Structure 1
């Protein structure tokens, strides 16, 4: 079959290509100005000792990175960040897929209601959600401890955000609650596009719901799952900063500090902008590396 493009006169094709290029130039200029240039500037600034306000910058080479790798608070923040990345990704993906399958492959009359209910947390501000869960976890008047005391489990009541052993789990639960509905809707959009005939044929062959889920549903929406894996990484990095700032401010004793909050503290509290940019470079490398690993590990898995 001959494409319409080949039938088009050469001059017309040239004019169309020029028009497309001219249309892309404004977007490319804005992307360069607000994304590419700041990214390169971060790498450059990480090589300097700079307060962020002073006009004087002192070139120190890789001293900021050497200092960083000898900083125990950096390693603690890195460990906390990786914990949230792993825990939030696994739990959010599992719950999102489960609820999406339950709402698309069952005959619930209240499907639309549950879609709105699960997606509702995404309408709320992160600050609102952080304050809400802070009140839930409040040691004396919070709903969680009040419920535990009400059913006679007083020994389980504790300062959830004030204990190093529970603070990260408490933050992770809030982050999962906020994210599940968003990814559920994405998975439901993919599942709605699967032909019902595939499930009917599987029913005839005697395949159960679990078998249909892993043999039909997952492979058919695998491309969406691959994309959301990258979303999980970037959103968890960004959301951890907001949730930690609102709920704990890095406490208790920096036990909930994550890389972005540590970077922010170095830049705007300690006026150590060059050191903060070194942390930003590490965050960029981690996010980029995890995204590549995720794509490589999930490549063709759904085929």
Structure 2
């Protein structure tokens, strides 16, 4: 009996693995995981964390980017920034661009998303692809192309409008302050139209189908269903789409640089272009310290706007509805 128990204990001991071996293998797996993310982590630190930290350091110096940091000026760059009308002009232009693109994009892309979301609509994949093509096209390429379309009196838009009898004389679309900003807003909205449409489609396809079936049983028609069922359920989605659209519109540089260059007379200069002009000024010495202070102030403004929109998204989600990617909620 004792011999049998000893053999059983020996067999069990032979099959069991020591706890140290298991923990050692887990440690090796964790080590391999860290090794895989190490290149991405290093790139993030070098190209994101380090520039952010150094921009705060540079903002307290009068530095041209050449030589060591020697001339400490304290808050002088920020004082100069607050008294600089060119910065506030660029800041105002950025806000105008953000607000106007949101006003144009949200309703128009929602309307098209409602059409493409219909089950009876044919060729939905083709239309989605066509509208999404500008999104994957480089903004600098779009700016150069649109400059040929709107850029001079013999441009395509003037020729087309004159042949249709809508214009008697050519319009310098990019040579006037009002029209230049309008063209920039129109082109920017067209550039990101497909992306916002995809946001709406994701929201529409996440809505619970049983709600629409109940509305149909109750006798609701197309317009009534849209007004009293679809749009109320889309309120949380609308808050998310608004947040994503605004955040995406906050940084517009390559499109402005290639399309208008900030002109005419700084009428379309945004904060990103303003920072670039001071940081990489070719007509004189670059002012890295001033450009860094401008970037910090604009970054804080973006943080405040994003925080307020985030609170809007949170409150909209708390009132019910379905967010893109969230589990469907039953509506009683």
Question: Given the two structures, how large is their TM-score scaled by the length of structure 1?
Answer: 0.86
Greater shift, 203-212 or 21-30, is seen at: 21-30
Cα offsets for 1:145-164 (capped at 9, x unmatched) = 11221122325741111101
In structure 2, distance between residues paired with 1:72 and 1:94: 34
Partner of residue 259, structure 1? 271
Q: CA deviation at 1:169?
A: 1.1
Contact 1:233 1:287 in 2 (8 A): no
Contact 1:47 1:63 in 2 (8 A): yes
Match 2:33 to one of 23, 27, 34: 23
Residue correspondence of structure 1 range 178-193 to structure 2 within 5 A: 178-193=191-206
Residue correspondence of structure 1 range 1-303 to structure 2 within 5 A: 23=33, 26=38, 27-105=40-118, 107-155=120-168, 157-213=170-226, 215-218=228-231, 220=233, 224-238=237-251, 240-269=252-281, 270=284, 271-302=286-317, 303=320
In structure 2, distance between residues paired with 1:58 and 1:301: 49
In structure 1, distance between residues paired with 2:73 and 2:314: 41
Greater shift, 266-275 or 18-27, is seen at: 18-27
Cα offsets for 1:146-188 (capped at 9, x unmatched) = 1221122325741111101111110011111110101212321
Q: CA deviation at 1:295?
A: 1.0
Cα offsets for 1:61-115 (capped at 9, x unmatched) = 1111111111111111011000001111221122222211111135211212211
Distance 1:286 1:155, change over 3 A: farther
Distance 1:264 1:104, change over 3 A: same
In structure 1, distance between residues paired with 2:103 and 2:307: 18
Cα offsets for 1:166-214 (capped at 9, x unmatched) = 1111001111111010121232133223343322222222334455345
Q: CA deviation at 1:54?
A: 2.6
After superposition, the CA RMSD in angstroms is 2.7
In structure 2, distance between residues paired with 1:157 and 1:206: 54
Contact 1:49 1:274 in 2 (8 A): yes
In structure 1, distance between residues paired with 2:186 and 2:27: 50
Distance 1:293 1:14, change over 3 A: farther
Q: CA deviation at 1:34?
A: 2.9
Question: Given the two structures, how large is their TM-score scaled by the length of structure 2?
Answer: 0.79
Distance 1:300 1:140, change over 3 A: same
Which structure: larger Rg? 2
In structure 1, distance between residues paired with 2:88 and 2:186: 23
What secondary structure sits across from 1:74 in the alignment? helix
Contact 1:50 1:56 in 2 (8 A): yes
